[in-house]
Each structure stands twice: as structure tokens, then as C-alpha cells.
Structure 1
Amino acid sequence: MVTTLTNATSFAVANFKREFNNFGTETRLLKEPSISLPISCKKTISVAWKDISHLEAISNYTMFYFNNGKKLLVSRTMKDFLAKLDAELFVRVHKSFAINLNYLIQFDVKEEMFVQLKDGKKISVSRRKKKAFLEKTKNYLGTSQVF
């Protein structure tokens, strides 16, 4: 009798562990934030936020620049995409540019008014976006690293 109860308990525990591990895997796969980019009338691709280094607005189009050096032109405004991206991670530094703070390596907002990304690209910071950029950078990096 004791053996049967022990076997039943170990079977239940094994099933619970298997179900829990499967549940954990599914949630981990869903947790990575991504955005769908339309590449043609009926096709879209899903791109992880972490792979996007910066965005450039070109009239009613948005150019996405990726960490592997590739770029993609999409026929929607940057404003549409910024509403779907993480507001803490992506910051608009200019009328035509938004950057991913993970790729920021250097910035100067006192004299030259620019940000520099890991790929070496320098992007100017507008006077109107300076305050919002400093606030988001301060929140993202922490007070001691920014000032």
C-alpha cells in the first residue's frame, strides 16, 4: 500500500515538473519583445527589439537599422512604430531619428549635441528633444552614470 502511494506521488510530481517546464519554456519564448514590420502587402516579419539599433524617418517611411549592419525601409511613419516599441528603451533624439539606448556609447548635449552608437554612427540631438533624451537616459542608465 505504501509503495503504491509513493509511486503515485512520484508520478504526480514528475507530471507537474514536466508541465511546469513546458509552461516556463512557452512563457520565455513569448517574453522576448518584438515588432512586426510589413515588407509587402501580405507579408510581415517579426524583429526583436534588441536587434534594432535606431530608426530614421524619411517622409512617410521609416528606415530600420539593425545591429548586424542591415537596414529595412518600411512604408509607415516612425510615429506609428514608436507607439509599438518600448518607450523606456527607444528615445526620439531628433525629428528624424530615434535610438535604442542599448546601443548608445557616447553623447554630448552641451556643445556638439550628438549621440554616438556602437556602430560608430553619430546622430544629432535637437534642442527640443534634449530634455526628453536626458530624462530617459537618466532613468535607463541611472543617475550616477549620466551626470
Structure 2
Amino acid sequence: MQKYSVLIVDDDQENANLLKIYLTKYTRCIDNIYMASSTNEAIESYLEHYQDILLLDIELENNTNSFQIIEAIPNTNAEIIFVTSHKQYAIQAINNVKTAAYLLKPIKIAELVAAIDKAVNNIKNKDIAVNALNSTEGHFPELVAIPSSNKIDLVQTEDIVYIEADGRYAIFHLTNGSHKIASRNIGVYEKQLDPRLFFRIHHSYLVNLSMVLNINKSAGNYCELLNGKALPIAKRRQEQLLRFLNIK
């Protein structure tokens, strides 16, 4: 069974602990549960772990709220479930944020489980859409599909400078200087992209070789890219890369 991670954001520690207990006891598809009590903690946690589902109380300490968290991570692919004591935010949440559920405290177990199930189904549906766009047997796509919270971005493979591994996620670095985060690991894209053009120089990096300016051997082996970035070449990949380039 596919497992998913959750970030609970609530400045009421007792309620946060109760949510964690419910998730642990009544949901089978949740493995890692993270907790934050403020907007800053939540943003830092998400940017480090990229949780799949966010359980957000709305009003937080120091007159802050969870809408500020969402504004700080606008391209999140996470499913969002609001958990609050305040009915008045429902319209704002539903109209401005793609929300899997809006739950009122005190939390009812059945409602929480149903909300998690809906969020997981949304994630699965996005994955199905991405697979349909990205995978055609024997064909290497000119477009790569990258899902976000409310859309699927299509990126030309020729616009990819390199892809960086970030745990279960992959970060696409593009020729225009921007980057996009995909909720799939780098190995998935290594299988999809043309192996004649994209080479895994390191466990963390899949490089578009047409974007490589040179291979610098003077201070350890690394690739210098057209965008000025220098990426290390793992020792075990150096010989393979040279053979791949018909240098050795």
C-alpha cells in the first residue's frame, strides 16, 4: 500500500496530539506525521519534507493564520484539509484554496478519515494523469508533466537543465531560471526521459547533457552547466560518463 505523509499545523498542542492519535489509529495509509504550531514552523517543515497532506488550523499564534502558509508555498502539490473552530473562514478557504475538506472542531473521527481518503484519492488521480501524459512505451516524450495543487504543468524536455533529487520529490531546474517541484522521485523521470540526452551523474542529479558546458577535472570531477551551475559527478559514474560521451 502506498504511504503518505501529513503535516499537522495547530497551536493547540492538545488538539494536535489528538489528531495525531486519530491518524495513527484509524488511517492505514499515513506513515510519517509532522507537527508545527506556527506559520514559520509549518513553512520550514514543508520545505524540508514536502508532506503529501496538510491539516491546517486557521487561526494561529501572534495573529497569524494558515492562509499565510499557503501563500508562502503557492506551488504546493499537497492536499489541504482545514481543521478549525471557526465557520466564518469556510467560504474564503473553499473559494481561494483547492481544499480537500473543511472540518470543524471538535473533530469527528469518521469525518477525518473521510477527508484523508478524499485527499489520498486526489493524489492518486493526479498520479494517473501524470502517468498518462508521461509514459508511452518505446517513446521518449517531448513534454514532461509535473503536477501541482490545482493543475499539471507541461515542460518541454529541451527546457530542462537538470533534475535534482529531494527525497521522494524531484526539482526541475529550467532554462528560464525557474524551478518546479514534482511529487515523484527522480528515478521515475530517469526512466521516462531519453537516455541518449539525460545522464544520471550523481544519485542527486539527472543532467541534460546538451546543457553541459564542460567537464572540469581540475578540482574534482564536476559538470559546468550553461546556466553557471556546477554539479558533482559521483566517482562511480565518472567512467560511465566518459564512455557515454565516447571519450574513453
- The alignment's TM-score, normalised by the length of structure 1, stands at 0.68
1:119 aligned to which of 201, 212, 227: 227
Secondary structure of the corresponding residue to residue 245 of structure 2? helix
The C-alpha deviation readout for 1:36-95, integer Å capped at 9, x for no partner, is: 11123x621211110000010011110100001000111110000111111110000011
Q: Kindly provide the amino acid, as one letter, of the partner of residue 38 in structure 1.
A: P
Q: What is the match of residue 162 of structure 2?
A: 54
Q: Kindly provide the amino acid, as one letter, of the partner of residue 152 in structure 2.
A: T
2:203 aligned to which of 95, 102, 108: 95
Q: Kindly provide the amino acid, as one letter, of the partner of residue 204 in structure 2.
A: S
Percent identity between the aligned chains?
26
Equivalences, count: 109
In the TM superposition, residue 34 of structure 1 has moved relative to its aligned partner by: 1.3
Flag the 1:135–1:110 CA change in 2: closer, same or farther, 3 A.
farther
Q: What is the match of residue 143 of structure 1?
A: none
- The alignment's TM-score, normalised by the length of structure 2, stands at 0.41
Moved over 2 A (4+): 108-111, 135-138
Q: What is the match of residue 241 of structure 2?
A: 133
Q: What is the match of residue 152 of structure 2?
A: 44
Greater RCO (Cα-Cα under 8 Å, separation 6 or more)? 1
For the pair shown, the structure with the greater C-alpha radius of gyration is 1
Gaps (5+ residues) in structure 1? 1-30, 139-145
Q: Kindly indicate whether the alpha-carbon contact (under 8 Å) linking 2:141 and 2:193 is maintained by their aligned counterparts in 1.
A: no
Secondary structure of the corresponding residue to residue 128 of structure 1? helix
Q: What is the match of residue 64 of structure 1?
A: 172
Q: What is the root-mean-square deviation in Å for CA atoms of aligned residues?
A: 2.0
Q: What is the match of residue 34 of structure 1?
A: 143
Q: Kindly indicate whether the alpha-carbon contact (under 8 Å) linking 1:101 and 1:137 is maintained by their aligned counterparts in 2.
A: no
